[in-house]
Amino acid sequence: MATTSGSRTGDFCSVVVAGGYGINLLPLTVSDPKYLLSVGNYPLIYYSLRSLEDAGFCDTLLVTRGQWLQEIQEAVENLKMKIKCEYLVLPDHLFWIKPKLKCEDILVLSGDVYGDVEIKAMAATYRKRNASLCMYAQRHPEDMGYDLLECGVHPSSITKIPDDPNNICEYLAFDPKDDKLLLCEYDTDISETISIPRRLYRKHPDFKICHKVLDLHLYMLKRSVVNLITPQSLLDYKSDLVCYLLNKQFLEENKPVPPQLFENEEDTPFTPDSKYTCVQNADLYPSDELIRCFVHFSTGQSLCLRELKNIGDKSNPKSLEPVNMKETKDILVGTKTTFARDLLYKHTVIGKSCTIGNNCNIINSVILNNVTIEDG
């Protein structure tokens, strides 16, 4: 499994999930999965793998659908990255991934994240809080901050949200004292109001609701939490597992706790490092809080986005130099495209699996996939 060097409390297993259909990106995803769409001259999934590689991961599990397996595998192998991928073809849920996870701590990352992810800083937050779940929240790229909605401390079930038709962010309720995550709502799931449970006011009277943050679908969670996944759990871990854990934080003391949290599986050894973590954080939280969810907010130096609809022109650098090309300006080239020598290209987009011959000058052109241009 994937590991990070210098881990004090044990290593992480990493999972890259590339199973979404990319409906919001139609018609771009009619013939290709969104994870292979070209962004900055690389397939989109490259940036998720590079983030893991930069954080020190040596290998990872890559979960995808059967119809995309060969394409994604070929694209990743052509990137010639140091990180090694073990490919898994799964049904529409994550239940069957549990036997592959041998580490105490799990990192789950979506395959459509573009940018620089602060994985090491997030891991520090995860360990410091002894969290059951830690979610990565990226500040809005417009102002690199987040808006706090006014919310009174008097118990109420409804909080009004601002009228923002261009809103593409999430609404997060958190405790400002320790960034404990209390509520997470998609903007697409709400219209004019957000329902606030009364028990949230009782346990966290000073909580805040922030807006203009993006959920990158990057999570760190305990292996004991993964045991809660059943065959009925959908692949969309955001809408199922995360919301389930947030609700479980408010279990009453007289209600039974899921027995999976107390399971000590034989393939998960109890190491001195994990013992150190339990002792170190024993006095931070009450003993009845068996599930603790936190949020890690990105810093000002970090810029990450999800899906091409949010990336836009930021994904196209002004100058790129693809392999085997002598002179290039404003070029985007698909995978498996080969070039001969003595070529000149400017302001051109070239598709995948193309062959370009000698003495060719291509300017202000768009070349589709599987095109062969003979010697000029």
Instruction: Kindly report, residue by residue over 137-180, the tens digit of the pLDDT.
Output: 877 655 444 555 544 443 333 444 444 444 455 778 888 888 88
* Most confident range, picked from 7-16, 187-196, 339-348: 339-348
Give tens-digit pLDDT for 279-319.
333 333 343 457 888 988 887 555 555 544 444 444 443 33
> Are 103 and 11 in contact, with CB atoms under 8 Å apart?
yes
pLDDT greater than 60 at residue 106: yes
The highest-confidence range among 45-49, 208-212, 372-376, by mean pLDDT, is: 45-49
Decide which of 104 and 1 is more confident: 104
Pairing status of strand 193-195 against strand 158-160: antiparallel
Banded model confidence at residue 107, pLDDT cuts 50, 70, 90: very high
CATH code given to domain 12-254+271-306: 3.90.550.10
Helix %, strand %, coil % of the chain (to 5): 25, 30, 45
Q: What is the pLDDT of residue 112?
A: 86
Q: H helices of 213-280, where?
A: 223-226, 243-248, 272-280
Q: Distance between CA atoms of 245 and 293, rounded to whole angstroms?
A: 7
Model confidence, pTM:
0.67
Can you list the alpha helix ranges (DSSP code H) found in 222-305?
223-226, 243-248, 272-280
Exposure of 263 in the CB half-sphere (CA atoms within 13 A): 16
Kindly report, residue by residue over 159-170, the tens digit of the pLDDT: 444 444 444 557
Across residues 337-345, what is the average pLDDT?
Answer: 75
Residue 192: predicted pLDDT: 63
Question: Does 322 or 136 have the greater pLDDT score?
Answer: 136
Q: Where in the chain are the domains?
A: 12-254+271-306, 324-373
pLDDT at 197 over 80: no
The predicted structure's pLDDT at residue 85: 92
Residue predicted with more confidence, 83 or 152: 83
Task: Tell me what the pLDDT averaged over the chain comes to.
Answer: 70
